[in-house]
Amino acid sequence: MEPYFKRVLVGVDDSEDAILAFKYAIHRAIRDDIELVIVSVLENDEMNVFQVLDDDYIHGKRDDLVEHVQSYQKQAEEAGVKKVSTVVAEGNAGETIVKEVIPHIQPDLLVIGSESKTGISKRLGSQAAYMSKYAPISVMVIRK
């Protein structure tokens, strides 16, 4: 039987919940023999105005992130995923994944992590909540 999902997109950012989502996505890709696409977003809102205006700083940060995401690709390949690729984007993580990455990559499933929090974001992290609500594809939220 052919799997329902043919391409899974997983968001990574080194948080514990994102690592769990990555591990799940690897498992799913191996089990269903499907493509895995790993995405990470360079968030400009975490930089001060001088850093954002400094092209060398942005390019350096982006190069570091590209290299880091490639280490995730290597882990997936070593685990046995046959087809793995990476994407590095810039902007607000949730909006960028929903509005730019998903239309470009055209995955069938988005796997994201969400930390257990208190207060207003108790049920889902704000980025996970945004992607769950607005992504035009199925979303699997992995909780830590």
**pLDDT at 144 exceeding the cut of 90:** no
Give the domain extent around 91: 7-143
User: In the Cβ-directed half-sphere of 67, how many Cα atoms lie within 13 Å?
Assistant: 6
Closest C-alpha among 9, 14, 20, 28 to residue 144: 20
CATH at 64: 3.40.50.620
Q: Is residue 89 included in any domain, yes or no?
A: yes
Q: Is residue 25 included in any domain, yes or no?
A: yes
Q: Is residue 87 included in any domain, yes or no?
A: yes
The pLDDT, as a whole number, for residue 121 is 45
Residues 105-139 pLDDT 10s: 999 999 999 875 554 444 446 889 999 999 999 99
Q: Is residue 56 included in any domain, yes or no?
A: yes
The pLDDT, as a whole number, for residue 124 is 46
> What torsion, rounded to 10 degrees, do the Cα atoms 74, 80, 86, 92 define?
-100
pTM: 0.85
The pLDDT, as a whole number, for residue 17 is 92
Q: Is residue 1 included in any domain, yes or no?
A: no
Q: Is residue 23 included in any domain, yes or no?
A: yes
Higher pLDDT among residues 141 and 44, named by residue:
141
Residues 34-74 pLDDT 10s: 999 999 998 766 555 555 455 655 566 778 889 999 999 99
Q: Is residue 2 included in any domain, yes or no?
A: no
Number of structural domains (the chain) is 1
- For tokens 């945004």, the residue is 130
**pLDDT at 20 exceeding the cut of 50:** yes
The pLDDT, as a whole number, for residue 70 is 96
Helix 16-32 and helix 55-79, axial crossing angle in degrees, nearest 10: 50
